[in-house]
Amino acid sequence: MAPPSATLLVASLLLFSSLASTVSAQGQACGVNLPACTTAAPCCSEYGFCGSTGPFCLGGCNPLYSNTPQSCAPAPLCLPDTYTFSDLSRVQTNATLYDGNATAWDWVVDKGTVLSTGSEAVLTLTAENGGTKLSSTRYVHYGTITARLKTSSAAGVVTAFITMSDIKDEIDVEMPGTQTSEFQTNYFWMGNANYTAGVSDTITGLEDTRNVWHDYTIDWQPDQIQWSVDGNITTTITKESTLSSDGQRYEYPSTPSRVQLSIWPAGISSSAQGTIDWAGGYIDFTTEEFVNQGYYAVQLESVAVTCSPTQADLVNSTSQSYVYAMTNDTQNIPYVTVSTLSTLLGAAGKTSPNMKTAALVAALMGIFAIFI
């Protein structure tokens, strides 16, 4: 057999080099002070790595560090509902199989394991799974969210109920470790925490949060955030109070956010000592509770979502999603619009970019085998 021509060899080398770059781009770190993701792997996932497949481009995909804001999949619009967990039929327990279809799925298990007792969901933490995080498929862009739950009571184990946007706007309710008569509040603006008095509050006097159901509420509106427990307002911050020191912007959560419930291990050796102390010490995996169950748990009975009245002015019968675009000002802060774009990753049966890349690489390896 005659060897391939020099032109074919050069073309093959160039294509192989391009494909190698595509493969290496998958998993490139992205985030603050790092290069934006490339066109080969355009989506910056919530965990700070570039990629081109569903988990990278769906919930948590950060438009600030992706190749363009439009690299991330459109985010499903807020719809008012009360979600209960008598079974897990509306929970996608394998995040890699979620395709952006918020009509089929209400929740995605990002990590860990969720069980069902027939009346509530159980979020588990074991020595191996690193805790469990449950995320809503739909986003809230202002609204009222109430989670009815029972916390864990183990030292080092934290229960959390938060809203989290793709650019790291965050509103928190957290219950650390053994503090079963209190909860804590806080918020973040684009990943920056505000720990000032009156914002980072500790609310005490609750009855046994491990064994008694409580309703925790985040009421997030364009002009203020209020935290409540069992219908009683505990903390309020206003947007006006978040004006930056230079008077240029409000450092206030203002972008569409997923609702997230989690149980996570703060009391482990990789945590900072301050975090371990805050959570009540190191986790003990030899307690009677853990040995009998095989896990520590958070029990979740329901999550009620009411979308902000402002959404009524934005959402029409054809709108499906929130999308990001960048402003032209020096602050480089993205803004959000409502769109008719689908949130689905694509029609079933289409070959994914990774499959195409793998096929081409295999073919080229066959070409280069001729020269060996």
pLDDT digits (tens, 9 = 90+) for 212-235: 999 999 999 999 999 999 999 999
Co-location of 194 and 307 in the same domain: yes
- Among 169, 170, 173, CA closest to 201: 173
Co-location of 60 and 110 in the same domain: no
- Asked whether residue 60 is domain-assigned, the answer is yes
Which strand ranges, in their side-by-side order, compose the sheet holding 75-76?
A: 75-76, 321-326, 334-339
Least confident of 170-174, 290-294, 321-325: 321-325
Length reported for the chain? 372
Co-location of 69 and 89 in the same domain: no
Q: Would you name the residues annotated as active-site residues?
A: 170, 174
Bridge-based pairing of strands 170-176 and 121-125 is: unpaired
Listed residues 313, 331, 357: the one ending a domain: 313
pLDDT of residue 15: 32
Co-location of 28 and 115 in the same domain: no
- Asked whether residue 323 is domain-assigned, the answer is no
pLDDT of residue 196: 63
Beta strands in 183-256 (DSSP E): 183-189, 192-194, 202-203, 214-220, 224-229, 232-238
pLDDT of 88 higher than 90: yes
Q: For position 236, which CATH number holds?
A: 2.60.120.200
CB-based contacts of 365, cutoff 8 Å, min separation 6: none
- Asked whether residue 237 is domain-assigned, the answer is yes
Q: Do residues 233 and 201 lie in contact, with contact meaning Cβ atoms separated by under 8 Å?
A: no
- Asked whether residue 24 is domain-assigned, the answer is yes
- Asked whether residue 319 is domain-assigned, the answer is no
Strand, helix or coil at 24? helix
Which domain range does residue 117 map to? 76-313
Listed residues 269, 290, 313: the one ending a domain: 313
Nearest-10 Cα torsion for 259, 149, 79, 135: 30
Domain count, the chain: 2
Count Cβ atoms below 10 Å from residue 8 Cβ, excluding itself.
11
Dist. CA 158–CA 131, nearest whole Å = 9
- Asked whether residue 337 is domain-assigned, the answer is no
What is the identity of the amino acid at 84? Answer: T
Co-location of 110 and 21 in the same domain: no
Listed residues 313, 332, 357: the one ending a domain: 313
What are residue 339's DSSP bridge partners? Answer: 321
Q: For 20-49, what is each residue's pLDDT tens digit? A: 344 445 679 999 999 999 999 999 999 999
Co-location of 102 and 251 in the same domain: yes
- Asked whether residue 260 is domain-assigned, the answer is yes
CA distances from 218 to 31, 75, 144, 233, 335 (A): 28, 21, 6, 10, 23
What are residue 109's DSSP bridge partners? Answer: 134
Dist. CA 319–CA 353, nearest whole Å = 28
pLDDT of residue 102: 96
pLDDT of 370 higher than 50: no
Least confident of 150-159, 172-181, 307-316: 307-316
Q: Do residues 121 and 114 lie in contact, with contact meaning Cβ atoms separated by under 8 Å?
A: yes
Q: How confident is the model at residue 345 (pLDDT cuts 50, 70, 90)?
A: confident
Region 317-331: what's the mean pLDDT?
76
Give me 229's structure tokens.
Answer: 């427990």
Co-location of 215 and 285 in the same domain: yes
Co-location of 91 and 198 in the same domain: yes
Co-location of 50 and 185 in the same domain: no
Co-location of 108 and 219 in the same domain: yes
Co-location of 196 and 171 in the same domain: yes
pLDDT of residue 281: 97
Task: Calculate the average pLDDT of the chain.
Answer: 84
Least confident of 4-18, 196-210, 302-316: 4-18
Region 280-290: what's the mean pLDDT?
96
- Asked whether residue 268 is domain-assigned, the answer is yes
Co-location of 147 and 263 in the same domain: yes
